Amino acid sequence: MLRSSGGSRDDEGMRRLRDSLLNQIADALRPAVAAAVERGQLRSDVTPETYVMATAGPLFFERFLAGIRLGRDTVDAVVVDAAMRGWS
């Protein structure tokens, strides 16, 4: 089991950075998510924040932690298959 001894999770600067990144990405996607909800492509309870966490999280993991170069197929699989189909 991993134990936290503080570190970046408890660091105020890192918390602000995480919040800022999440807000910037969510704000950029807000019109698209709202339009998809309005068209019935996404459920009404999907928010830009939850959409970002469901899509950006796996993509960040693959790119920056696993070192996998993201191609169109990978992005489509995460964004379309996982998020859109899961919440439609």
Classify residue 50 as exposed, middle or buried by CB count within 10 Å of its CB (0-12, 13-18, 19+).
middle
**Residue 4 pLDDT exceeds 60:** no
Task: Compute the average pLDDT of residues 4-24.
Answer: 78
User: What are the pLDDT digits (tens) for 25-64?
Assistant: 889 989 999 998 999 988 999 999 888 888 888 888 888 8
Neighbours of 53 (CB within 10 A): 15
Q: What is the pLDDT of residue 79?
A: 79
Q: What is the pLDDT confidence band of residue 24, given thresholds at 50, 70 and 90?
A: very high
Cα gap 21→15, rounded to integer Å: 10
Neighbours of 58 (CB within 10 A): 17
